[in-house]
């Protein structure tokens, strides 16, 4: 989705705009990832914060995928992992 693309490429202004227009924060792509998973993999702390504020599931796990925190950690995105932990990720 456009929100997946914006989250993946750290386009926080686009994420804001898409969220304001009602983009589905729970939509999954062909991998089963939500926009939050994409932002975590790429290290976009600003997009992670925007998505969490909009109500993204911090523990989102769909079949054959990891939770956002695990994705941040395996991709060595410490700043994103810290943001997730501060927001209550388990």
CATH number of 2-86: 1.25.40.20
Least confident of 65-69, 70-74, 78-82: 65-69
pTM, rounded to two decimals: 0.93
CA distance 59 to 5: 20
> What proportion of the chain, given as a percentage, has pLDDT over 90?
89
- For 8-18, write each residue's pLDDT tens digit: 999 999 999 99
Q: What is the pLDDT of residue 61?
A: 87
**Cβ-based neighbours of 44, under 8 Å, separated by 6 or more:** 7, 8, 10, 12, 80
């Amino acid at each position: 989705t456009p929100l997946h693309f914006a989250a993946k490429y750290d386009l926080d202004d686009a994420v804001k705009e898409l969220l304001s227009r009602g983009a589905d924060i729970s939509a999954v792509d062909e991998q089963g990832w939500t926009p939050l998973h994409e932002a975590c993999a790429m290290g976009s702390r600003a997009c992670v914060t925007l998505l969490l504020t909009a109500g993204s599931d911090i523990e989102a796990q769909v079949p054959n995928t990891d939770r956002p925190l695990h994705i941040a950690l395996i991709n060595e995105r410490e700043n994103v992992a810290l943001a997730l932990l501060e927001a209550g990720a388990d």
